[in-house]
Amino acid sequence: MNARRRAIIVGVAVGLLSSSSAVALQEATPEASPVGPPPLPEGCSVIASELVNPRFVAVGDDGTIYVSEAGVGGDEVLEPPADPVATPESPGTPAPVEEGGPPSGPATRGTTGQVTMISPDGEQSVLAGELPSYAMGIETAGPAGITVADGEILLAVGGAGPGTAMVDALPNENSVVSIDPESGEATLLADIGAYERSDNHDPFNIDSNLYGIDVADDGTIYVNDAGGNTTYRVPAEGGDPEVLAVHPGIPLPEGMEGPPGGNPFRDGAMELDPVPTGILTVEGGVLVGYLSGGPFPPGAAVIVEVAEDGAISDVATGLTMVVDLAAGPDDQLYASQISTNFLGEMPEPGNVVRILEDGSQEVVVDGLMLPNGIAFDENGDLLVVVNSVSLGEPNGQLLRCEGVAEAADAPANEVTIALDEMTYTPRDVTIKAGTDVTLHLVNEGIATHNLTIDAPGVRGEMLAAGEEMELTVNLPEGDYSIGCDVPGHRISGMTGVIHAVP
């Protein structure tokens, strides 16, 4: 191992932040500031706290919330640099060697990564522990992307990043694992880090640090390797990963000067690493957000679509440090940005934006301290991880911000339908399939009417003017036409449809 490579292990963020910004962040600790942390954005409240470098959030079908935490490294000390000057900083930033400033101490690793769960009644507990964690000062890597699909919890575990080739991987490092929702036990599904070591798909450093994860409707798993700049596809049952796309470098923004000789970590090209972070499956492929590479110039980040054949096209540009993507129950796309400007003395707070059809953005929650993962519940409330880089004591939080997205049209267990000449109100009804649903039928008209559901032959009684009844149905998933059995009423328009949905 040469000195320069050792230096990479300890001299570079194994997480996503550069050391110079870490200094500024350290100065922003509540201890250092008499005014304390900034107020929560309006409409947001804390629903979990004391999280340890929290990263991503997912919501299960029963409303249980899961948060991944990258941990704080561990007892194993990684070698200090013999040649600290070799710290590879990004183009545009000279390689500063911080004198006496944080992050301090040697890099360490261990098994302090974990997954916390928050039950529907608000109780917070650790579901899974003993997961890989790397730390250098305040910068950490470990459990990252998390998602729940068909009751299975899938977790992308990060790892050594630029040090990937210099250390033997910890168990489950840079891997996709499934977490048993009862015992918290982790089961290996795909070792992506091993694949980066053997094949190194982008031709640059061997560097693996898994980040966002999502699952398609057919169970196929998609995961981003932020270190390897690659998106992988993994079979539902686990096994050999397949490269979906190697993401291209980002040209240096207009007016930004790169170092002489270009970016040494991209073979001298005048470009930034893309650093794929958040991922969201969509019809025909996935959407991927880019953090962009250091020094993270504002506006350099993008969201791209990757088709099933690997073709990459821009969805939204002009973003900054995108870390996660989520679809709201309103089917709109949302993205979190960890900071809107990382170049100043103090990084600006981050935010969550809605991405409009034309790729433009509108801010929906602003003033978030180092936000990372985002998710929505069915009410349209946003869940967002904040303080995702712990400054000193673990101070990560999960916030709920109300009414950020429109609530989903929830299928009803109970619905009132008015009967009148010659219509039903409403005449297009969505109910829950496979469960008892009560239809309150009220004749608000003058004539006699009823309501019959055609396919399964569910027939309501004839109701005289002013009469009402309850009709309990239990319909398999599907669309059913409804109509009135009084001769001539259907043809006069007294029809409608009931959608039974899961």
Exactly one of 449, 453, 460, 496 binds Cu ion (CB under 5 A); that residue is: 449
Residue number with CB closer to Cu ion (114 or 450):
450
Of 117 and 419, nearer to Cu ion (C-beta) is 419
Stretch of 7-15, 81-89, 325-333, 447-455 contacting Cu ion, by CB under 5 A: 447-455
482 lies in the site for Cu ion, by CB under 5 A: no
Q: Locate 275 and state its tokens.
A: 């650093």
Which listed residue (489, 496, 498, 500) binds Cu ion by CB under 5 A? 489
Of the residues 484, 496, 498, 500, which one makes contact with Cu ion according to CB under 5 A: 484
Q: What single DSSP character describes residue 40?
A: P
Residue 486 interacts with Cu ion (CB under 5 A): yes or no: yes
CB closer to Cu ion, 243 vs 462:
462
* Residue 250 to residue 229: CA distance in whole angstroms: 11
**End-to-end CA gap in the chain:** 56
Give the nearest distance from C-beta 444 to Cu ion in angstroms: 12
Interface segment toward Cu ion; rule CB under 5 A; list 98-106, 251-259, 292-300, 487-495: 487-495
Angle (nearest 5°) at CA 379 between 376 and 380: 45
Using CA of residue 122, residue 123, residue 129, residue 133, what is the dihedral sign? positive
Q: Which is nearer to Cu ion, 247 or 489 (CB)?
A: 489
**Residue (247 or 449) nearer to Cu ion, CB:** 449
**Whether 109 contacts 130, CB under 8 Å:** no
418 is a site residue for Cu ion (CB under 5 A): no
Polymer length of the chain = 502
Residues 157 and 130 sit within 8 Å (Cβ to Cβ): no
Cα 462 to chain centroid, rounded: 52
Q: Residue 484 Cβ, how far from Cu ion at the closest point, in Å?
A: 3
In this chain, which stretch among 278-286, 325-333, 448-456, 457-465 interacts with Cu ion, using CB under 5 A?
448-456
Q: Specify the stretch interacting with Cu ion by CB under 5 A; choose among 317-325, 326-334, 435-443, 488-496.
A: 488-496
Which helix (H) or strand (E) is 10 found in, with range? helix 3-11
**How many beta carbons lie within 10 A of that of residue 298, not counting itself?**
18
- 439 and 415 in contact (C-beta within 8 Å)? yes
The size of the interface with Cu ion (CB under 5 A), counted in residues, is 5
Q: Given the complex with Cu ion, which of 57 and 484 has the nearer CB atom?
A: 484
- In terms of C-beta density within 10 A (0-12 exposed, 13-18 middle, 19 or more buried), how is residue 261 classed? exposed
- List residues near Cu ion by CB under 5 A: 449, 484, 486, 489, 494
